[in-house]
Structure 1
Amino acid sequence: MKFLSRGLYALVLTIFFQTSLTAEYLYKDEVIFNPAFNAEVNKLGSELYEKTGIAVRLVMLKELPHGTNIVQYEQELLKNFSTPTILLTFSEMDSKVDILAYPTSLYEYFDKKQILSPISSPVQAFVIALLNFDFSDMTSGGTILPLLAGKAKKGEVLGKYSASMFNGYADIAEQIANSKGVVLENAVGSANQNSILAVKVLFYGFIVYGIFLYTKRRLYARRQRLEEK
């Protein structure tokens, strides 16, 4: 009986330890509460850590603590980790998303500005720059904010949150893997993103063409008025 008790005790400890390990990459979830989402994040995060030694942890908050901004919250949270860690943090009520890495040398492995860009494609960035007559910042390729900004029907908001945050999480993980020269078996891949990009290129191409025709028509009308004078 003592042997069985010890064996059962060891089994419980093993299961608890393994559960703790597989839960650490979705570090905090106060929003989604979806086992499938949890499993996907932890599967990708675990593989990335095994192959690169870098932990990417997702934090899903209902709301930031009173009087604390998102960067301050992340800085405090980072004190809990001894390994190289990147935090991707989302606060629903504050409508905030941020990425913070420690040590700061980790930023060389991924493009934070691109991931957090509110603009999803180069074509969209060009159209916006053209409309504003400002080409100083053409950053695009955002994998989180464009999805978060999209409208969702009643009952689909959590799906929007999980899709956008996993998309960003996967983007960080895959960029790190590429920088380190490793292949992630659980990577999302770029096939779906390429299909979306093709549709957006076509859509915004029509917009650019429409702007071109409108500008051409205005210039022609202006020239006609000058000639009549």
Structure 2
Amino acid sequence: MKLISLLKSGFLAALCSFGLNAATIDNAGVLSEPIKSKLNEMGAELKETTGVTLDLITFSNLNGESIDEAIKPFKSSLKPPYVILVLVPKKAGAKTGKVDIYTSNDANSLFDKEAVLSPYPESGSILPILVSNKGKDIYNAAMLNGYADIADRIANSKGVVLKSSIGNSNRDTINIFRYLIYGSIILVIVVFAIRKIKR
């Protein structure tokens, strides 16, 4: 019975695709082909330039297992250093889905997992998009943004710049607005102080 559920979940196809150095295994069917292609491109460049494997796995159903138990077969097929980004999308009627990042011991220090998974838009690159519930492609946007953020952080830790990087436009935009707002507040305070001194 368990063998049948493994076959239905695409486990064997996923395991075979890992052998082909695929970076994306979308068992949940939530990612579009262009996004998978971009993720695979970034993953291949990261592996080639840094030696670190970065994979994304989505599960439609964990069948009562924890995420850690579900990815054990995938982890055993990878050579360290590796990072695995895992998504279990929210089902209809469920309150939340699940997102987590698993690393080999030697990949722990290459990036800040807590920052990537932060719910705050200024540092997190996945959860702020998922909790927004705006738009039909939140999984595509969140996984592309999170995967690219992890890849860029790993590349930076190794002193490499990825040509396929998309950057982090959300964080950059938020920081630009933050600086504009802070600058405006400081300008208003300075103008009030100068007017008060002149009186």
Q: TM-score range by the shorter chain?
A: 0.7 to 0.9
RMSD, aligned α-carbons: 2.6
Q: Equivalents in 2 of 1:192, 1:119: separation in Å?
A: 12
* Amino-acid identity (%): 32
Equivalent residue runs for 1:1-229 within 5 Å = 21=20, 24-66=22-64, 68-92=65-89, 93=91, 95-102=97-104, 104-121=105-122, 141-153=123-135, 156=136, 159-199=137-177
Tell me the secondary structure at the aligned position of residue 185 of structure 1.
coil
Q: Which residue of 1 aligns with 2:4?
A: none
Contact 1:37 1:162 in 2 (8 A): yes
Pairwise CA distance, 1:191: 4.9
The alpha-carbon distance between structure 1 residues 200 and 31, as it changes in their structure 2 partners (threshold 3 A), is farther
Which consecutive residues of structure 1, in runs of 5 or more, have no partner in the other structure? 1-16, 122-140, 206-229
Which consecutive residues of structure 2, in runs of 5 or more, have no partner in the other structure? 1-15, 183-199
Query: In terms of mean alpha carbon deviation, does 176-185 or 26-35 score higher?
Result: 26-35
User: How many residue pairs align between the two structures?
Assistant: 163
2:69 is aligned with what amino acid?
Q
Q: Equivalents in 2 of 1:198, 1:142: separation in Å?
A: 16
Cα offsets for 1:71-107 (capped at 9, x unmatched)? 22233420122342211000013600000011x1211
2:118 is aligned with what amino acid?
S
Pairwise CA distance, 1:187: 0.8
Tell me the secondary structure at the aligned position of residue 129 of structure 2.
helix
Contact 1:71 1:98 in 2 (8 A): no
Pairwise CA distance, 1:202: 6.4
TM-score scaled by length of structure 1: 0.64
Q: Equivalents in 2 of 1:61, 1:202: separation in Å?
A: 41
Pairwise CA distance, 1:47: 0.3
Contact 1:87 1:100 in 2 (8 A): yes
Q: Which residue of 1 aligns with 2:186?
A: none
Tell me the secondary structure at the aligned position of residue 162 of structure 1.
helix
Pairwise CA distance, 1:21: 3.6
Pairwise CA distance, 1:189: 1.8
Tell me the secondary structure at the aligned position of residue 186 of structure 1.
coil
2:142 is aligned with what amino acid?
S
Runs of at least 4 residues off by over 4 Å: 200-203
Q: Equivalents in 1 of 2:169, 2:132: separation in Å?
A: 21
| Greater helix proportion | 1
Contact 1:115 1:144 in 2 (8 A): yes
Contact 2:80 2:106 in 1 (8 A): no
